[in-house]
């Protein structure tokens, strides 16, 4: 998954802990081999580097995953979209002259350009440019599978983290009635004032920047709204708490690029909690802040 994984189970004996961890590790590796955008032997990579577009056979699991993505694309009114990556890559690499054609390029992407055939269990891409990317899906999907494994081993209290952006708090902290987490602050190792209790719940955070362990800004990430076709300019982070790790992951991905008005309308549809942190409204503010600090 391109990040660090933390598996914390209090009071588990070493042998059982080892067994559970190895089971989880195998499962995560299996999911990665299915969904990775970068690994050349993954099923998704092979689909993205296809030599033809029509009626490509896919595994049942990937078929079901794309159906889930389609469902959430409709539920989020287009904000969750696994086909946007080529546009981002295009914007990052394109010259100014080519950017003039960005709208026409945008037209080549979208979930409607990916068609599934239930009878044939195949996928068809509408054009050569369409690629699918599960970057805003995979960790939540994996956390859901991990939760099942833990229940099968009768592990009731655990804290699992994928790169601190997708976490699962199962049962309780040994000294409390939940797992109490905070959102990281920019330029600080302390949590913000938002305190989130997780009890058999998951928290997924999406943001358009990455921080070092000391809280300093490492990198800004381009994210694009599939509806407004604009990139998010403010330094923004949104966390979603849900009983379902997958839903938390999908909604945090979708709502990061959702405009405020649209968000207000959409958020009521889901039985989840939202925590939004907008650190800076513009790149200019960010620069000023950096200078001050």
Partner 1 sequence: MKDIFLQSRREFLRRITALIGSSIASVSMPWLNIFGNTSSSVKSVSDKVRLGIIGIGDRGKVLLLSLKEYVELLNIEIAAICDDYEPHLKHGLQLTQGNAKGFNDYRKMIQMKNLDGVIIATPLNEHAKMTIDSLNNGLHVFCEKAMARNIDDVKGMYDTHIKTKKILQIGLQRMFNPVYLEGIQKIYKGEIGQITQIRAYWHRNNNWRRPLPNNDPTFEKRVNWRLYDDVSAGLLTELASHQIQVANWVLNTEPISVLGNGSINYWKDGRNVYDNVACIFSYPNGVQFIYDSVISNKHYGLEEQILGSNGTIEFEVNKIYSETPPAPPAILQLINDIEKGIFNTFPIGGASWVPETATQYKGELISNNYKMDETKLQLEAFIKYIREGKAPEILTKHGYCASLWCLLAERAIKTNQVVNLSDDYKI
Residue 95 CA to residue 98 CA, distance in Å, equals 5
Q: Which is nearer to partner 1, 174 or 268 (CB)?
A: 174
Considering only residues 107 through 146, tell me which ones interact with partner 1, judged by CB under 8 A: 139
Residue 48 CA to residue 56 CA, distance in Å, equals 11
Q: Is 10 in the site for partner 1 (CB under 8 A)?
A: yes
Q: Is 196 in the site for partner 1 (CB under 8 A)?
A: yes
Of 275, 291, 273, nearest in space to 283 by CA:
291
Q: Which is nearer to partner 1, 130 or 167 (CB)?
A: 167
Of 180, 204, 197, 200, nearest in space to 254 by CA:
204
Q: Is 209 in the site for partner 1 (CB under 8 A)?
A: yes
Q: Is 202 in the site for partner 1 (CB under 8 A)?
A: no
Among the candidate windows 48-56, 91-99, 125-133, 189-197, which touches partner 1 by CB under 8 A? 189-197
Q: Is 184 in the site for partner 1 (CB under 8 A)?
A: yes
Among the candidate windows 32-40, 84-92, 123-131, 185-193, which touches partner 1 by CB under 8 A? 185-193
Cβ atoms within 10 Å, residue 153: 16
Q: Which is nearer to partner 1, 125 or 141 (CB)?
A: 141
Q: Is 66 in the site for partner 1 (CB under 8 A)?
A: no
Residue 69 CA to residue 77 CA, distance in Å, equals 12
Residue 201 CA to residue 53 CA, distance in Å, equals 39
Q: Is 210 in the site for partner 1 (CB under 8 A)?
A: yes
Find all residues with CB under 8 Å of 83, minimum gap 6, and list them.
Answer: 109, 110, 111, 113, 114, 130, 131, 132, 133
Q: Is 280 in the site for partner 1 (CB under 8 A)?
A: no
Q: Is 250 in the site for partner 1 (CB under 8 A)?
A: no
Among the candidate windows 58-66, 101-109, 121-129, 208-216, which touches partner 1 by CB under 8 A? 208-216
Residue 89 CA to residue 87 CA, distance in Å, equals 5
DSSP reduced 3-state for 198: strand
Q: Which residues bind partner 1 (CB under 8 A)?
A: 2-4, 6, 8, 10, 139, 159, 161-167, 173-176, 180-185, 189-192, 195-196, 203, 205-213, 218, 221, 237, 239, 275
């Amino acid at each position: 998954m391109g990040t660090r994984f933390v598996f914390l189970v209090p009071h588990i004996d070493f042998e059982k802990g080892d067994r559970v961890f190895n089971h989880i590790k195998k499962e995560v590796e299996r999911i990665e081999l299915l969904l990775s955008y970068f690994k050349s032997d993954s099923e998704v990579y092979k689909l993205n580097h296809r030599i033809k577009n029509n009626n490509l056979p896919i595994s049942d699991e990937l078929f079901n995953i794309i159906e889930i993505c389609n469902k959430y694309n409709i539920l989020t009114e287009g904000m969750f979209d696994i086909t946007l990556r080529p546009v981002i890559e295009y914007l990052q690499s394109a010259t100014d002259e080519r950017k003039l054609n960005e709208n026409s390029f945008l037209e080549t992407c979208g979930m409607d350009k990916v068609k599934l055939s239930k009878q044939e269990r195949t996928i068809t891409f509408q054009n050569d440019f369409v690629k699918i990317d599960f970057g805003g899906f995979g960790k939540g999907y994996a956390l859901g599978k991990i939760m099942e494994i833990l229940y099968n081993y009768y592990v009731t209290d655990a804290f699992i983290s994928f790169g601190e952006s997708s976490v699962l708090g199962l049962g309780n902290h040994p000294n409390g009635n939940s797992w109490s987490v905070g959102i990281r602050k920019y330029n600080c190792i302390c949590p913000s004032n938002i305190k989130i209790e997780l009890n058999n719940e998951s928290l997924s955070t999406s943001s358009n920047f990455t921080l070092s362990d000391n809280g300093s800004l490492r990198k800004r990430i381009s994210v694009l709204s599939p509806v407004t076709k604009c990139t998010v300019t403010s330094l923004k982070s949104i966390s979603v708490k849900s009983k379902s790790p997958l839903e938390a992951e999908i909604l945090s991905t979708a709502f990061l690029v959702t405009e405020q008005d649209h968000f207000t309308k959409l958020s009521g549809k889901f039985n989840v909690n939202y925590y939004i942190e907008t650190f800076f409204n513009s790149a200019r503010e960010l620069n000023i802040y950096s200078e001050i600090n």
